[in-house]
Amino acid sequence: MTVIERLWQEYELPAVDGLYFADGRAYEVSVSPTEPVLRIDETLDVDQLLSEEPDLVARVDGLSIHELADGDVLWAGEGSYGSDGFFGRVHSDRGLVWAVFLEEADPFRTIEVSGRKATFTSTSGLTITVDIDDPSGTGAT
């Protein structure tokens, strides 16, 4: 079981701007307030990050869901602090597929789906669109 899967059992994620996959892959991410895209930056070593700062985790709570035809669910909401927001894809049993955590996005409340793209909008108006099958854009899901 990966570190991300263990955290997700308690609905927690690393409290670092990142894209986290259940299989353990993780990437630092950034967003632009003027472009609705998630920029994938560097690979993130979650094991090392949490070994150096074990309390650097945030609990997440869903505020919106969108059920997909395959039984998976897009889920969006808030983190432990008022400025945190997250969104992701989970299986019907709430097992994680992938999740994005952003420290300064504010909670995500709206999910709109068009084909295989989903747009998540935060309470502050930040909008991010990702491929629901491969939010990293790498082609490796």
Domain extent for 84: 3-131
Dist. CA 92–CA 31, nearest whole Å: 28
pLDDT at 50 over 60: yes
Dist. CA 4–CA 115, nearest whole Å: 28
Three-state SS at 53: coil
Number of domains in the chain: 1
Domain membership of residue 7 (yes or no) is yes
What was the pLDDT predicted at 141? 42
Dist. CA 21–CA 33, nearest whole Å: 24
| pLDDT mean over 120-140 | 87
Domain membership of residue 137 (yes or no) is no
Domain membership of residue 96 (yes or no) is yes
Domain membership of residue 124 (yes or no) is yes
Name the phi and psi angles at 44, rounded to 5.
Answer: -115, 125
DSSP assignment, residue 95? Answer: -
77 pLDDT band (50/70/90 cuts)? very high
